[in-house]
Amino acid sequence: MNIVSILLVGFLSFANIDLISIRSAFQKADESQAHTDELYKSLKDYSKNDPVMLAYKGAAYGLRAKYELNRQVKKELFTRGAKTIESAVASAPNNLEIRLIRLIIQENAPKVVKYNSNLTEDKKLILANFSKQSADVKAVIRAYAKRSKTLTTDDLKNL
């Protein structure tokens, strides 16, 4: 009976992955390895085809790579994350939340991985379509703009 309860709770918690909690976990992930691990664990087995969730999954892989000590595993995690993000962008090229996720990962990626070629493109798309976004997406963009070098609060003031 105990095992069934544990499995049921595990299944229900996985089934309850929602965008709001993932956004919150993503914003906290930069604060510590524990927060990063929490985001990573909540998304690593995500297998549905929602492009936004897949972008967050890719970001979780990229962020998890930051704490990996084994260079090969670090490279594999980051590469998998970048590919997942690029797949999400290809699935929904005009989705600003996905573009913001890619901008964040590219802006913070080590220069040696050379994953930074879309910063200007993503910034332009975000600024051009910011006013059309939901309040939740605007809040995520504004929160990141406070600490971004690429997308600043001054950029958003003009919108």
Q: Which residue has the tokens 């549905």?
A: 48
Q: What's the rounded Cα separation, in Å, for the pair 51 and 2? A: 36
| Per-residue pLDDT in tens (0 to 9) along the chain, 159 residues | 444 334 334 443 444 579 999 999 999 998 999 999 999 999 999 999 999 999 999 999 999 999 999 999 999 999 999 999 999 999 999 999 999 999 999 999 999 999 999 999 999 999 999 999 999 999 999 999 999 999 998 998 876
How many other C-beta atoms can be found within 10 angstroms of the C-beta atom of residue 38?
Answer: 15
- Domain extents in the chain: 18-117
Do 22 and 55 form a contact (C-beta atoms < 8 A)? Answer: no
**What is residue 5's predicted lDDT score, i.e. its pLDDT?**
36
**What pLDDT score does 17 carry?**
76
- Please answer whether residues 40 and 66 qualify as being in contact, where contact means their C-beta atoms are separated by less than 8 angstroms: no
**CA 117/CA 13 separation, integer angstroms:** 37
pLDDT number for residue 144: 94
Residue partners of 122: CB distance under 8 A and separation at least 6:
99, 100, 102, 103, 106
List the alpha helices (DSSP H) in 1-95: 2-15, 19-29, 33-43, 51-65, 71-91
User: Which residues fall within 8 angstroms of residue 5, CB to CB, at 6 or more apart?
Assistant: none
Query: Which residues are CB-contacts of 126 (< 8 A; sequence separation ≥ 6)?
Result: 96, 99, 100, 103, 141, 151
72 burial via Cβ count (<10 Å: 0-12, 13-18, 19+): exposed
